[in-house]
Amino acid sequence: MAMIKCTECGKEMSDKAAVCPNCGCPIEDIRAKLGEIEAEQEARIKAKESEKRAKEAAAEAKRQRQEEARKAITPAMKKKRIAIGTVAVILAVAAGICAWYFGIKVPHDQSYQIYLATVQNYNDGVQQYNDAINQYNDKAKEVIAANDGFDEIINTAQALVDCGDTPYEGARITTLSNSIKDARNNKVSTPELKVVVASAQADPAMEKERKSNIDAAISALESELENYTNNVAVINAEKDALSIPDYSVFINTLTTQSKDLEDSYAIQRQITAPTEDWVITRLGRVADVANIAPVTEENDPNGNLNKPGGYTSTVYFGTPLLGTGNLSGNPLIDEGTDAGGAIETYRTVEEAETRNDYLASFDGMGWMSSGSHMVLGTMVVRTSDDLKASQQETLTNAIVAAMTSLE
pLDDT tens by residue, 63-73: 888 777 676 66
Q: What does residue 372 show for φ and ψ, rounded to 5 degrees?
A: -75, 150
Instruction: Determine the pLDDT at residue 310.
Output: 95
Instruction: Determine the pLDDT at residue 73.
Output: 64
Q: Which of 290, 301, 310, 379 is CA-nearest to residue 333?
A: 301
List Cβ neighbours of 273 (8 Å cut-off, separation of 6 or more).
312, 345, 346, 347, 348, 377, 378
The one-letter amino acid code at 27 reads I
Residue 113 has pLDDT above 70, yes or no: yes
Q: How far is CA 357 from CA 205, 216, 228, in A?
A: 97, 94, 79
Residue 232 has pLDDT above 80, yes or no: yes
Helix (H, G, I), strand (E, B) or coil at 272: coil
Least confident of 55-69, 135-149, 212-226: 55-69
pLDDT, greater one: 4 or 278: 278
Q: Diameter of the chain by CA atoms?
A: 185
Query: Residue range 89-102: average pLDDT?
Result: 61
Instruction: Determine the pLDDT at residue 60.
Output: 83
pTM higher than 0.85, yes or no? Answer: no
Instruction: Determine the pLDDT at residue 28.
Output: 83
Please state, in angstroms and rounded to a whole number, the distance separating the CA atoms of residues 401 and 288.
13
Residue 373 has pLDDT above 70, yes or no: yes
Q: Mean pLDDT across the chain, nearest whole number?
A: 90
Q: What is the dihedral angle through the alpha carbons of 18, 19, 25, 30, rounded to the nearest 10 degrees?
A: -50
Least confident of 6-15, 118-127, 143-152: 6-15
Query: Residue range 327-354: average pLDDT?
Result: 96
Instruction: Determine the pLDDT at residue 188.
Output: 96
Least confident of 104-113, 132-141, 149-158, 253-262: 104-113
Please state, in angstroms and rounded to a whole number, the distance separating the CA atoms of residues 20 and 189.
113
Instruction: Determine the pLDDT at residue 99.
Output: 58
Least confident of 94-98, 137-141, 332-336, 385-389: 94-98
Please state, in angstroms and rounded to a whole number, the distance separating the CA atoms of residues 305 and 312.
6
Instruction: Determine the pLDDT at residue 84.
Output: 72
The one-letter amino acid code at 6 reads C
Residue 257 has pLDDT above 80, yes or no: yes
Please state, in angstroms and rounded to a whole number, the distance separating the CA atoms of residues 26 and 225.
96
* H helix runs in 163-247, sequence order: 171-185, 211-241
Helix (H, G, I), strand (E, B) or coil at 200: coil
Instruction: Determine the pLDDT at residue 102.
Output: 55
pLDDT, greater one: 7 or 129: 129
Residue 220 has pLDDT above 90, yes or no: yes
Q: What does residue 246 show for φ and ψ, rounded to 5 degrees?
A: -110, 100
Query: Residue range 286-298: average pLDDT?
Result: 96
Query: Residue range 128-135: average pLDDT?
Result: 96
Contact yes or no for 335/324 (Cβ under 8 A)? yes
Residue 391 has pLDDT above 90, yes or no: yes
Helix (H, G, I), strand (E, B) or coil at 405: coil
Chain centroid to Cα 56, Å, comes to 94
Q: Which of 302, 306, 307, 334 is CA-nearest to residue 318?
A: 334
Contact yes or no for 267/260 (Cβ under 8 A)? no
Query: Residue range 178-205: average pLDDT?
Result: 95
Instruction: Determine the pLDDT at residue 90.
Output: 67
Instruction: Determine the pLDDT at residue 143.
Output: 97
Please state, in angstroms and rounded to a whole number, the distance separating the CA atoms of residues 27 and 22.
12
Please state, in angstroms and rounded to a whole number, the distance separating the CA atoms of residues 229 and 60.
80
Instruction: Determine the pLDDT at residue 274.
Output: 97
Residue 404 has pLDDT above 90, yes or no: yes
